[in-house]
Structure 1
């Protein structure tokens, strides 16, 4: 019984750690999008592709 409890506790702790990492990642993504970086990055990629097509 002790082993099972230990395993469950460890599993719960790992789940909590994963959830915390996911929340942090979501926060960072939202910050990034809010600052407009994602749009600029996507536009940049679009322009690079277009330039490549026209030049090539």
Structure 2
């Protein structure tokens, strides 16, 4: 993934929590079961590292 080419692609503002979890689990190769598990920030750090290597 090219970090210089990060853009939104017709993203609906009303994503269900199931769609968000599916996307996160698919992209990050995780098994998160509840949206509340995203509150600790670890997934966000992993996502930032995936998009912008060595930035975190």
TM-score by length of 2: 0.25
Q: Which has the higher contact order (CA 8 A, sep 6+)?
A: 2
TM-score by length of 1: 0.25
